[in-house]
Amino acid sequence: MEDGEQVNAMQGNAAQRRLSITTTLSLPLTRYASSLMEAAGGGDSGYFYSKAVIVLDLIWNMSFVVVSVLVLLSAIPERPSTPLRAWISGYAFQCVLHVAFVFLEFRSKDQVDRDGVTGVSSSQSHTSILKRLESLNTIMSSIWWMIGFYWIVIDGQVLPQESPRLYWLTVIFLAFDVFFIVFCTGMACIIFFAVFCCMPIVAIACAITTRQAASEDDIRRLPKYKYHKTSLMRTPDNYEEENCRMSVELGNKSVDSEFTLQPDDSECCICLSRYSEGAELYILPCNHHFHSGCIGKWLQINATCPLCKFNIRRGDTLV
């Protein structure tokens, strides 16, 4: 029984995820598109839309309705040569329809939350009908916008004198729409430029940066020695040198060789520690020597010698 309830709950959650409230993209763009993001998590944070965006959308559209009503009431004496009063009324009516569709979708989502699995099918059908009606409202808004623009253009010189309030309100509504069109187009161009132009440059720069590091194979190919201090000897200039016997490991072979180091040269310049008995060293092609662990980490970041900048991958010196 518990397994059946868990399966039903999972089915209900999956169906709820498919129900997302989306405000409509329309022309005019004052009834803008708001793709509402699904929130992560559960419980109260499991809303699959943004309440803030919905509230902003409703306030934005209702403000157009209120302004339209106030201007229409104040412009009763005006007699425009084109039916601007009808256009403004139609514009406000479309805003009201949009608000109604958003509110009904909001109610549909809450109904799914209350009913669970049993209400998913009916809610999906209800939401589908609302989206079709909203799409129809979008088409009508686009046509209505073009009609208003035409009426403003044909009598643009007479309307400011005979119906200034209706004329300027219509111009403001159309200007808002044009602004949103330009804004959305500009954002699309910026995103396109960022994705298709900047990203390849960043990818190339990252590739170049990555290629500056040495690979594990490059590091393993370096001759590896073990440090053994044997004795002190004096040079003809009466200068003490350490005679060190180094066992070099090349692959699976071990070869004995002698190395002569000055007393102040038997230390790693990366960690600034003197070589201890049995320490493993790497000798770079430029004959500089370091602890194997120190130079290994260094070469994984930069494939050049810390002292002379010799590049072990390209075989040249940077400076």
Q: For the ranges 110-119, 223-232, 309-318, which has the lowest average pLDDT?
A: 110-119
Please provide the average confidence, as pLDDT, over all residues in the chain.
73
Q: What confidence tier does 317 reach under pLDDT thresholds 50, 70, 90?
A: low
What pLDDT does residue 47 have?
A: 44
The count of other CB atoms within 10 Å of the CB of residue 127 is 21
Render pLDDT for 124-183 as a digit per residue (tens, 0 to 9): 676 777 778 878 887 888 888 889 888 888 877 788 888 889 999 999 998 888 888 888
CB 34 within 8 A of CB 22: yes
Give the three-class secondary structure for 11: helix
Which sequence spans correspond to the domains of the chain? Answer: 2-180, 217-317
Phi/psi for 268 (5° steps) reads: -90, 125
- Reported pTM: 0.48
Q: For the ranges 90-94, 102-106, 117-121, 204-208, which has the lowest average pLDDT?
A: 117-121
> For domain 217-317, which CATH number applies: 3.40.50.10470, 3.30.40.10, 3.40.50.1970, 3.40.50.2300?
3.30.40.10
What pLDDT does residue 225 have?
A: 82
Mean pLDDT of 198-218: 74
Task: Tell me which of 70 and 98 has the higher pLDDT.
Answer: 70
Strand partners for 255: 248
Phi/psi for 150 (5° steps) reads: -65, -45
Rounded to a whole number, what is the distance in angstroms from the first to the last CA of the chain?
Answer: 76
What the block records as the tokens of 79 is 């007699």
Block residue for tokens 């044909």: 154
Mean pLDDT of 75-100: 89
- Distance CA(258)–CA(228), nearest Å, equals 10
The count of other CB atoms within 10 Å of the CB of residue 277 is 8
The count of other CB atoms within 10 Å of the CB of residue 26 is 23
